[in-house]
Amino acid sequence: MRATMPTAVVAVLLLAGCGGAEEEPETTAVEGAPTLTAMVGTEESPDAFEISLLDEDGEPVTELEAGEYNIEVTDPTSIHNFHLDGGDGAVDEKTGVSEKGETTWVVTFEPGDYRYMCDPHPSMRGEFTVT
Ligand SMILES: [Cu+2]
């Protein structure tokens, strides 16, 4: 154990150095901020042409108060993505179309109009207002 310690430290430093080149997605939720749930596709049918953004009561988001929010994003499909933007550029986040996975975005909504959509299928979309 003792002998391997310096090797481990060097490895960590090397990893940390390399990490700068690649931007890591934000995955640390902010405590105390409301959490919204974003999903493209459905759990039963990942490729379904459905997109949703739900509040903490499970209701579709139509109006929000400005401020900081955690957004838990589920993108289980390689044909859709989840793209959230608005507020004159205050927020612009998206998942990759071909990538699947879950992530958490921490966003600060300024007052304005926002939309969420699937980029390859623009008819999959929703809108809400931040006041
Ligand atoms: Cu799509």
What count of other Cβ atoms lies within 10 Å of the Cβ of residue 83?
22
Q: Where are the domains of the chain?
A: 26-130
DSSP E strands in the chain: the ranges are 35-40, 51-54, 63-64, 67-75, 83-86, 91-94, 101-109, 112-118, 121-130
Q: What is the pLDDT along the chain (131 residues), one digit of tens a residue?
A: 454 445 544 444 444 444 444 555 546 889 999 999 999 999 999 999 999 999 999 999 999 999 999 999 999 999 999 999 999 999 999 999 999 999 999 999 999 999 999 999 999 999 999 99
- pTM here? 0.79
Distance 118 CA to ligand 1 centre (A): 5
Distance 14 CA to ligand 1 centre (A): 39
Distance 85 CA to ligand 1 centre (A): 16
Give residue for tokens 């409301």: 34
Distance 62 CA to ligand 1 centre (A): 21
CATH for 26-130? 2.60.40.420
Distance 125 CA to ligand 1 centre (A): 9
